[in-house]
Amino acid sequence: MFGSLDISTSALVAQRTRLNVISANLANQNTLYDADGNYAPFHRRIPVFAVGDPATDSDRGVHVKEILFDRAPLRKVYDPGHPNADGAGYVAYPNIDPAIEMINALEAARIYEANITAAEATKNMMQTSLRLLA
Amino acid sequence: MIAGIFDSGALPALQRLVQFTSQRHAVLTHNIANLSTPYFQPRDLDPKTFQATLRNAIDQRRASRTPTSGPLTLTDTEQLRFRAGGIEVTPTPTHQNILFHDQNNRDLERTMQHLAENTLAFNAAVELLRNEFNMIEIAIRERV
């Protein structure tokens, strides 16, 4: 029974991580420079899930396996006067589509809710079992 | 003596029902945790098979010399192996829903429905167990 709560918690952690990544993507839609001030357009991050939970060393549950970079080409904007424009006058902007990020954010929030419901059910069952003793 | 008390009436059947529903609960929460995991195939334990096995065991006991007491002998199925201290389970994939583009054939609504039904079955079984234990307690105390 306590194992079920671990499973739901692993999913809550994974979906929250996914939301963090989505927030970072949305926040950096127009980021051209890295933290050191070098010209490096932000690449979209993709969280990848896999079955199993290393935190509880269990083959049930879910965890974020890795966070990948989106290899899609960067968005080119024609702006010849820009200091970072290439030879043809184009500036490379991050390859982030806010609509896709919003859809993923919605899905993550809904799945988070589904797992909260599952955790509530587990707690309900644990409470009923504990009443056997009282 | 104690074994005789705990093997009588509905107690063994309720015990098995609690064991089955708590195992199935873990399987269902696992499915919900992996709603967005690529290549994940939801698995489930079939409650119908369990109920049929339980029904057979109860029918068998009814036909024996002691119709209302004695342990239930449940026959193992593909998914369930009945041990003295619990049930070992092998959940099998459910191929009911369409496959999504991430190769996951999730079915959120049906999974949540199964979760709700399973929780209700578990709670009902535990409540009935509680009643049985209360009755035993009344018998031991010799007063209502």
Chain A residues whose CB is inside 8 A of the B35 CB are 11, 111, 114
State the sign of the Cα–Cα–Cα–Cα dihedral A123, A129, A131, A134: negative
Q: Which residues have C-beta within 8 Å of that of residue A112, sequence separation ≥ 6?
A: A11, A12, A15, A16, A19
Chain B residues whose CB is inside 8 A of the A7 CB are 26, 29-30, 33
Chain A residues whose CB is inside 8 A of the B37 CB are 49-51, 62
Quick: pLDDT tens for B45-92.
999 999 999 999 999 999 988 888 888 889 999 999 999 889 999 999
Name the residue in chain B with its Cα closest to that of A60: B30
Quick: pLDDT tens for A53-87.
998 888 899 999 999 999 999 999 999 999 999 99
Q: Which two tokens stand for residue B64?
A: 């024996």
Q: Is B38 on the interface with A (CB under 8 A)?
A: yes
Query: DSSP states of chain B as a string?
Result: -HHHHHTBTTHHHHHHHHHHHHHHHHHHHHHHHTTT-TT---EE--HHHHHHHHHHHHHHHHHSSSTTBS---PPP-SSEEEETTEEEE--EE---SPP-TTS----HHHHHHHHHHHHHHHHHHHHHHHHHHHHHHHHHHT--
A97 CA: distance to closest CA in chain B (Å): 19
Chain A residues whose CB is inside 8 A of the B123 CB are 124-125, 128
**Residue that is written with structure tokens 């952690």 in the block:** A13
What's the complex ipTM?
A: 0.77
For residue A1, what pLDDT is reported? 67
Report if pTM > 0.90.
Answer: no
On the question of pLDDT at B29 being above 70, the answer is yes
In chain A, the largest separation of any two C-alpha atoms, in whole Å, equals: 78
Using 50, 70 and 90 to split pLDDT, how confident is the model at B121?
very high
On the question of pLDDT at B17 being above 90, the answer is yes
Q: Is A60 on the interface with B (CB under 8 A)?
A: yes
> Residue B84: which of B69, B100, B73, B92 has the closest Cα?
B73
